[in-house]
């Protein structure tokens, strides 16, 4: 095997790869995306192996690591044995994912033989030690600078993973939550933000991305420059959208539906200036924003919150003043005790 090219079996036998596919996080996402960028000739085998691992994660009876490896070896050595795998030999609920793996590898087995794999001689510049991360708890915001001079303001309840030193041809970060980016122009090194499977690629611009795990939408708003957004579509293809200043892309995660809407550029990233914005927010959304902004737990009591759509802006307001203002508009009483807020709707 060419040291620059890895086959499907290499990835399936790589414990770090399998662990990433089964349970990705920000740091491992960034590591493998950078690895794939550094080894583009391996993209097909990489994606096929990823699909196989997902197939083998069977919903009703997920195999253990030992079962996974045992089945893998049987599939890889299937052409050496005259005894075929059958449903009688393997539990019924695991047979489907085993046969799908075997089918996917049949052509490979017929065309090649099983290699003995060792650690690749070629070492990637991307290592776990090169990956930095920043996480903000609720109630805290921060600003960080990347190695190229670009900056990101990270909102409360959000995290960023990135290389402490960007590569020579790509600048790439992984976001969970919300951040406002100001990217220095560098035509030779695109700046890519990954968020929930969506990528936003720029050469130099300012934009805001919001995508919390407990919310149904991802919102990408462009303030200056030009932004290419790629959203997973059907059949593993990506749909590409080009945003211009004054536009925002709203992606419904559950329906995988995309809308591109107009938005005033002066309203983008206002949270970085201490402004909490409510824009046609229902009460669950209002509650989550208050919890993240002030690091509190909000308890709702009574009915009356259904159908609410609330729009306003608060700049550098205290929680008490904000709730006092909202209580008149939305007809509720409230109590604040340490980090607990109780909201009672009036009948």
Are 157 and 292 contacting, i.e. CB atoms less than 8 angstroms apart? yes
pLDDT at 254: 87
Q: What is the pLDDT of residues 119-167, one digit of tens each?
A: 333 334 445 557 788 999 999 999 999 999 999 999 999 999 988 888 8
pLDDT at 95: 38
Share the mean pLDDT of the chain: 78
| Domain containing residue 262: CATH number | 2.60.120.1440
What three-state secondary structure class fits 202? strand
Same domain, 256 and 281: no
Q: What is the pLDDT of residues 13-63, one digit of tens each?
A: 787 888 878 777 777 777 777 777 777 777 777 877 776 776 555 443 445
Domain that includes residue 335, residue range = 274-345
Are 344 and 301 contacting, i.e. CB atoms less than 8 angstroms apart? yes
d(CA 147, CA 163): 9
- Kindly tell me the number of DSSP H helices and DSSP E strands found in the chain: 8, 18
pLDDT at 277: 93
Using pLDDT thresholds of 50, 70 and 90, give the confidence band for residue 220. Answer: very high
| Domain containing residue 303: CATH number | 3.55.50.30
User: Which of 245, 267, 289 delimits the end of a domain?
Assistant: 267
Question: Which residues is 262 bridged to in the sheet?
Answer: 247
d(CA 193, CA 179): 10
DSSP assignment string, 124-157: PS--GGGEEEEEE-TT--EEEE-TTS-EEEEPTT
Same domain, 150 and 252: yes
d(CA 262, CA 248): 6
Same domain, 223 and 258: yes
pLDDT at 206: 94
H or E stretch covering 326: helix 319-330
- Using DSSP bridges, classify how beta strands 171-182 and 158-163 pair: parallel, antiparallel or unpaired: antiparallel
Using pLDDT thresholds of 50, 70 and 90, give the confidence band for residue 66. Answer: low
- Segment 302-308 mean pLDDT: 76
Using pLDDT thresholds of 50, 70 and 90, give the confidence band for residue 88. Answer: very low
- Specify if 121 maps to a domain: no
Same domain, 171 and 261: yes
d(CA 287, CA 281): 10
- Considering the entire predicted model, what is its pTM? 0.64
With a cut of 60, say whether residue 323 has pLDDT above it: yes
Q: Which of 265, 258, 144 is nearest to 200 (CA)?
A: 258
Domains in the chain: how many in total? 3
With a cut of 80, say whether residue 333 has pLDDT above it: yes
Using pLDDT thresholds of 50, 70 and 90, give the confidence band for residue 87. Answer: very low
- Specify if 174 maps to a domain: yes
Query: What angle, rounded to 10 degrees, do the helices at 15-22 and 43-56 form?
Result: 60
């Amino acid at each position: 095997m060419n040291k620059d090219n890895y086959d499907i079996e290499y990835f399936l036998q790589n414990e770090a790869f399998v662990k990433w596919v089964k349970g990705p996080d920000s740091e491992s996402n960034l590591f493998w995306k950078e690895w794939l960028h550094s080894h583009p000739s391996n993209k097909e085998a990489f994606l096929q192996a990823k699909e196989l691992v997902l197939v083998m994660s069977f919903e009703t009876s997920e195999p253990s690591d030992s079962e996974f490896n045992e089945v893998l070896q049987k599939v890889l050595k299937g052409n050496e044995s005259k005894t075929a795998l059958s449903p009688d030999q393997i539990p019924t609920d695991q047979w489907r994912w085993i046969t799908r793996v075997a089918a996917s590898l049949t052509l490979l087995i017929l065309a090649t033989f099983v290699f003995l794999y060792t650690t690749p001689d070629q070492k990637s510049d991307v290592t776990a030690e090169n990956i930095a991360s920043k996480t903000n708890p609720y109630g805290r915001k921060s600003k960080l600078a990347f190695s190229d001079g670009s900056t990101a303001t990270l909102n409360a309840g959000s995290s960023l993973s990135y290389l402490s030193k960007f590569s020579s041809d790509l600048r790439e970060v992984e976001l969970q939550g919300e951040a406002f980016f100001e990217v220095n122009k560098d035509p030779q090194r695109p700046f890519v933000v990954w968020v929930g499977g969506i990528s936003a690629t720029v050469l130099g611009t300012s934009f805001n991305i919001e995508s919390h795990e407990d919310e149904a939408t991802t919102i990408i708003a462009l303030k200056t420059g030009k932004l290419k957004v790629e959203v997973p579509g059907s059949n593993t293809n990506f749909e590409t959208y080009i945003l211009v200043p004054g536009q925002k892309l709203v992606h419904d995660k559950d329906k995988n539906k995309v809308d591109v809407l107009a938005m005033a550029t002066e309203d983008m990233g206002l949270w970085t200036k201490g402004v909490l914005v409510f824009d046609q927010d229902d009460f669950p959304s209002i509650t989550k924003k208050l919890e993240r902004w002030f690091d509190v737990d909000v308890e709702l009591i009574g009915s009356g919150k259904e159908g609410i759509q609330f729009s306003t802006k608060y700049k550098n307001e205290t929680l008490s003043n904000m709730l006092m203002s909202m209580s008149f508009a939305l007809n509720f009483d409230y109590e604040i005790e340490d980090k607990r807020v109780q909201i009672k709707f009036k009948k």
